Amino acid sequence: MTIPVFTFFNNKGGVGKTSLVYHLAWMYVDRGLRVLAVDLDPQANATAAFLHEEYLESIFMEKQGVQTIFDGINFLRRGIGDVAVPKLIDMEMVTEIGDRLALIVGDLELSSFEDQLSDAWPRCLDRDERAFRVISAFWRIMQQAATQHRADIILVDLGPNLGAINRATLIATDYVVVPLAPDLFSLKGLRNLGPTLRSWRREWQERLERNPAKDLPLPRGAMKPIGYVVLQHSVRLDRPVKAYDRWIARIPEIYRSDVLEETSDEDIQITNDPYALALLKNYGALMPMAQEVHKPIFYLKSADGAIGSQMKAVGQVYHDFKALALRIAETTGISLPSYET
């Protein structure tokens, strides 16, 4: 049995993917799940969100042992071995953030693995065992780490591109959540995403049939889109401001046609679209405040600087992310414990 992988992806940057992964990881922990967060963006922004600068310095400047995702694939990359097995006891590769939350640390050096991933993709068609090991490296590390952490779910952050690192991550993905901003370029990214997912899914299924090592576990390549989240939209009187109206109005139709290849005669609005998982506000000054103290917005206290009306906003953020976490769980059949903090 494998642990379900949720990847948050749009090939347009600046739509809040990292913030979404970070906050949902903590919310699922709050709801009683054990969570493994994975940073597969070579910019390592999720890692910077989860870990304090002093700890990051000890990882990247001292470089002792297997501490990042790059360290985990380095022997495979060099052609002298396979992926490293994550070890929670030694704090290697998997860093415990809390009692039920762990992180596979990202690494800027991960981008050096891109060429090998590109080269391995066509070689899978030639039944090249090493090619399959390269392509499945991220999935195997994630599953091993999640098993050791006893994780219920895996949440993955990716960079905004359609390169080989993201392809290898997405074929390791069970469910895809698409973060969006209500603007032209975000919707253009959405239109690129649908055909790419279908192509990668089809090509991976063709390759799976040619796996020469029957004892090598491989991902199914489901990468099922389950919906979208619109982030950082402004709200006035509980309605999107006029500048965003036309972009928001186009999201349901574009998601259906380009991502799902569905058509509908109904006039579907984002407010009644079942694929609209959430519309999240721009939380203004609360975001930098939370980043400063390395905690999610909904954990801010007055001692952190959240005072007056800001504390009411903190409560609203908790409500918003709780609703999103429950919606994703219901959509995918994830069982949440009867648990309150």
Q: Please write the tens of the pLDDT for every residue from 248-281.
A: 888 999 999 999 998 877 788 888 899 999 998 8
Q: How far is CA 267 from CA 199, 225, 228, 229, in A?
A: 29, 21, 18, 20
**Residues in the chain, overall count:** 341
- Other beta carbons less than 10 A from residue 214's beta carbon: 6
Which residue has better confidence, 327 or 81? 327
Retrieve residue 237's tokens: 């009187």
Q: Please write the tens of the pLDDT for every residue from 49-80.
A: 999 888 888 888 776 777 899 999 998 999 98
Q: Which CATH architecture group holds 5-230? A: 3-Layer(aba) Sandwich (3.40)
Strand partners, 240: 235
- pTM for the predicted model, two decimal places: 0.93
Q: Domain residue spans in the chain?
A: 5-230, 285-332
pLDDT band at 89 (very low <50, low <70, confident <90, very high): very low
Calculate the CA dihedral of residues 258, 259, 261, 267 and round it to 10 degrees: -80
Phi, psi of 163 (to 5 degrees): -85, -175
| Nearest C-alpha neighbor of 151 from the set 340, 338, 339, 334 | 334
